[in-house]
Amino acid sequence: MNREEIIARAQDYIANETDSFFSDEVKSLLQKGDWKELEDRFYRNLEFGTGGLRGVIGGGFNRMNTLVVTRATQGLCDYLKEQFPSKPLSACIAYDSRRKSKEFSLATALVFAANGIKAYLFSSLRPTPELSYAIRMLGADTGVVVTASHNPPQYNGYKAYWNDGSQVVPPHDTGIIEKVLKVRTVNLVSEAGARAKGLLVNIDKEIDDAYVAMVKSHLQRPELFARLGKSVNIVYTPLHGTGAMLFERIMGDLGLNVLTVPEQREPDGEFPTVSYPNPEESAALAMAIALGKKTHADVVMATDPDADRLGIAVPNGTGGFTLVTGNQLGVLHLDYIALTLKELDKMPSRPAAIRSVVTTEFQTAIAENHGIASFECLTGFKWIADLMRRFERETYDFIYATEESYGHLIEQEVRDKDGISAAALTAEMTLYWRSKGKSLLDRLEDLYREYGYYEEKGLSFYFEGEQGMQIMKGIMSSYRKEPPQSFGGLAVIRTRDIQAGVERDKDGKQRRVDLPQSDVIQWRLEDGTLLTVRPSGTEPKIKYYVLCHGQGGELSLSKKMTQDKIALIEADIRTVVDSHRK
């Protein structure tokens, strides 16, 4: 992008941005002649990815700011009116603890109101799963949550939801974007004007109470809480986000002892005690684990800032705590749900579970062992919700969904991952295995002995800016032009290119891939290992996922062989990535 184009786009932005905080930023950059920064802010518009809009907070079309948020909302309004021309429309809006979240949520609500769409706005910050629940409970036509989930503090985001409480999927996502790109004028109304017309209404307690009751209704063994609840100590951290209010309330109602990390309990968009508020990262749980050791906790739990993800750590018998991965927790959940439904004679006639294409295949093995249909989908819980819609037409009975990035769902009343209900299930599961004389780690070891050892590893490589996007495109293009023949010394026997919609065997046979198009390539290796690569839809990085299944035999030996194999595959991946960085 040349300098004249940058100036023109910057001036267009300044002329239309209503928040001087952001427009003044761009004016200052122009005055300083900071062309590198300006190019990064204007070389593209933020686009909907797997989770909607997400970007660094600041002025510019490639940033999260009031203009980008209100234009997205105006486009959403235009699309809704086109889809439902004669229906009174309504929307639910929630927000988390991040910088500018409250301001962005109010701006969103006022655009809805200015377009004659009744806006139900939470009066204070709430978890993302509660937003999904509210849409379904109130019969709203759409919803928005302002959050950047587990990203660093400089990020914020905007997730758009459809009338079934799920994030938008095709054709609605592209339809909304087409409308957003055509927006030239945003309809606005004052907060007082919107409230006077009944087009802006606050919601809080009535949704909270119903959501809490719903979560508790999905627990299967209330007698465990009555009998053993007081014997289990939980240390919890909301990582300065939205989770504490509902987590503490539900666990308290269940009679469990919860100690919340005091330094991380209050909402704070600066996330002052962590560099990255992500329960996938061990550093994010460091304070909680330290408190867990001090208080002899039975389980440590953490939710991310919008409380849709759950991470846990459990005592390992040697005085420390072991972090349980998202894949492992999903396996433990599905195993427990299946055992419980069978034991209580509540297994539905056509049970179904869902996992993303990069989630452990251990899930499939457990599902099939219990007579549960196992479905796969693209990464992102909007695709899980899409399958749940299909189940309603095809009479499958949904029982569980998960993806490796610490997302879990046990209920149908929410159509997004839910860290709060997953925590309640995890507490029940902990009590159950304690009643059997086992810890969660003991049960995991039992499953490895029964099914064989599974290990998964994710690798992320960051590429910032326009040049970074080109590097990631180059990596994906090189894989397609010259398909790899092996990784880590293991031959590729099958390649699945989800963007092309084709799966090819090494002998040239090919078949159609029954998944929506997405920039994802998967390789099946001769030993059964599955390797996946995809650019992230929400962050400037390319991600690899290695899913390995160790052979039978002695468990410690199987673990070592699997880990050695992953190390060799990782070395080959890094060689390719490094060659594109040069």
Encoded amino acid at 456, one letter: E
| Structure tokens belonging to residue 442 | 């003991």
The DSSP symbol for 57 reads B
The answer to whether 357 and 532 have CB atoms below 8 angstroms apart is yes
The answer to whether 303 and 370 have CB atoms below 8 angstroms apart is no
The answer to whether 48 and 177 have CB atoms below 8 angstroms apart is yes
517 vs 85: CA distance, rounded Å = 30
502 vs 272: CA distance, rounded Å = 46
Query: Which H or E run includes 329?
Result: helix 326-343
Active site residue 90: no
The arrangement of strands across the sheet holding 299-303 comes to 257-260, 233-237, 299-303, 310-315, 321-324
Q: Mutual orientation of helices 128-138 and 419-435 as an angle, nearest 10°?
A: 110
525 vs 570: CA distance, rounded Å = 14
Closest by Cα among 169, 188, 160 to 66: 188
Closest by Cα among 182, 146, 442 to 306: 146
419 vs 427: CA distance, rounded Å = 12
Q: What are phi and psi of 321, to 5 degrees?
A: -125, 140
Query: Which H or E run includes 303?
Result: strand 299-303
The answer to whether 557 and 452 have CB atoms below 8 angstroms apart is no
Q: Which of 132, 149, 166, 558 is the catalytic position? A: 149
556 vs 566: CA distance, rounded Å = 15
Strand-pairing partners, residue 548, are 455
Q: Which residues participate in catalysis according to the annotation?
A: 149
